[in-house]
Structure 1
Amino acid sequence: MGELQSALDALAVEDLFALAPGAVLERTTALLQVVNRATAELTRTVRHADATGAAEHDGKKTMPSWLRGHGHLTAGEAGRLVRSGRALEHLPATAAAFAEGTLTASQVAVIAPIAGDAELAAADEQDVDLGVIDRALVAVATGEAHDRLAQVVHHYREALDPDGTEPDPTEGRQVQVARHADGRRSIRGELDAVSGEKFEAALESMVQANRPQGDDRTRAQQLADALVQLCDNALASGGLPKLRTVKPQVVLNLDIDDLIDPATGPGAARTGFGGQISAARARWLACDASISRIVMGPDGVLLDLGRDHRVVTPGLRKAVELRDGHCVFAGCGAPTYWCDVHHLIHWIFGGETSLENSGLLCERHHTKVHHGFRIERDPGGRWHTYRPDGTEILIGPPLLV
């Protein structure tokens, strides 16, 4: 282990800028193999510790719990590591390829389920030569795309039980939402094949709809926008089930002083689910929202609860949609049902809630306008978009000089 540490220390001080591009890629390939081999040895060691109950030495009952506490692994990572170690005892070809650095840990985790208790029993009953399957899967893993390996493993497991009962899709679906201190959400989930198709079809319809020109963001960013837009559309339609007698909605709490103050005001507003956002973000949401006045005494006692005031009425929204037709930001054609009604001069600063003081903006460009960009409608009815530096964004063929 000392020699391994010394070798890594030597690599860490090597000047990468002194290497030619080809040498950098060769170095990357070699390191990938080293990582695979090291992970294979880790998996073998963890399996030994799992089989011998070594975790008891540190007062832990199982190796997954030891790995979580001492190795700082997530529950999922610890479980996969232990399961892979157990499976490799039945899969010598996979174990050998892993030890040579040919297979990655994720590929081993995909193959591992074929050595589960139920799968091993079914293979034994049907006289399946597991060695042949093991070698075939190694060939797929080393010669084809990662997705193909998962498909082959899935087909093999299905073939072991062709007459098995069709699983209930609702049993396997799950979505986990982790809420962070700043209000961000991390989302993890799993859907069955049919539900996954529905989910991707819905997102893809949003991604492939008319989007802003020059949108060069990653696929993941576009899919996240699509998911948010689906939620926006569902909430705006008013057809979702009620939550304790009221329609589901985004709820914000913000002091009037922070609402009026043009400063950013980080962490000034609190959401209904406990997150915190800036006053600037809250002002953006307040462009097209219902506002409730709640007066609190100095001791926190409720003194007055005013009625909801709808800033943009349904009638005004229809008029703005009819006039603008889509997001008015230069180069964007997002449809009306993706858009908020933006106050050119914010109502909190005296701007009227009127057709003349309104414009349609999709979520992305509504955010831009509240962060330095500006839109303006000339007397002829043509919209103009200006950058924070005051220059206008012009769409069209380049001017000939």
Structure 2
Amino acid sequence: MSETFLPELPQELWRAGKLELAHGVQHALQVIRIATACLGRFLAEIESRGAKDLYGHGSTASWLAEIAGLSRGEAGPIVKRAIALNPTRALDGTEVPPVAPATAAVAALGLVGDERIDQILEILKNLPAEISAEDRAGAEQILANLAPNAGPRQLAKAEANLQDLLNPDGNEPKDPEPKEPRREITLERRKDGFWKLTGLLDDETGARTAAALEAHAQPRPVDEFGQADLRMKCERMGDAWAELLDLAIACPDQPGTSGYRTLVHVTVGLEELKSGLGTACLDFVGTMSAREARLAACDCLMVPVVMGASGEPLDMGRLRRFVTPGQRRALNIRDGGCAFPGCHRKPKNCHAHHIEHWADGGPTDLRNLVLLCGFHHRLIHHGDWEVRVAADGLPEFIPPQYRDPLRKPRRNTLHHV
């Protein structure tokens, strides 16, 4: 590769604007992926000729491990991926076609990274063995077309659709053997304000808990700009626990909450709440910033508390629900889930966000409401994205300039045909 492929770095990177930084990252990612595809072609040729004859190594992976300073375990997947994407030759000189040629073509353009390539290869491996070569090639072409703009969740959904199409009978179900229930949970608040949760679950309850957490702890899909979810698994599991609690509290039959997601006691004045300065008390458990209170107040019960100079409560307003059950049902039907482009979250995982916040005089009606999952709700409140309801009554999102210089409005097309 010539050095013209390398992104041009400003001499003083700290002077670069956010648009220049974002373009630099996107360019660098594409360069890395193109270089990785090029490396794969070299490794496939070495595999064809034989690493032992060329370099005296027993395998291409062991040779790569030595020259790249990798462990054998790290080099193995790289070589395996290279062989799957590129043609090789057998001992008699006949060509062995690649497992995923369509994916290789996309990878060569720098449009897909190793993670999605590995996912596609795993999906192809799990396809029914009895399907024809034509059906297998068609399935791989579908996955390769999706990969540049899809995240892991979307590819997993495509896999499920392919399995239903190619293997309609499915696999024979297995009945698990239940064990004697034993469940223990301990919850205590630490001095630093965090809560420590420990427990012991029987096999069935543990499996159900793990399944529920895993379902909500999947990495967020890679968006249309290629931005991936960088949370560690433990962080995703913690966020999943919070989502499950949110769902439980929102249940109409839940004791003590009556289906309301949050009970917020505002201990600051309206002006402080507008500016985001000050604190609020979340159900008498602890404090939160007024900025966080704005986010929580979008879909909750609000009890305004007027505080005196000495901190004593002078007046407590009446309980008020800002989004009625009827409005929530209408939102669920209109948006079908989180309305942010590319988000797969369902209505039960979403909050009703006020486009113009109620503290700023925004009305609580459908043209001023949109469903957002917790992550994208926070992004809209604290990021540079904007949301509005278009003339046809559907929400659309305007990306920040560093994501799209033209700021072209985008919509979520995952929830509706």
Higher alpha-carbon Rg: 1
Say which structure is richer in helix.
1
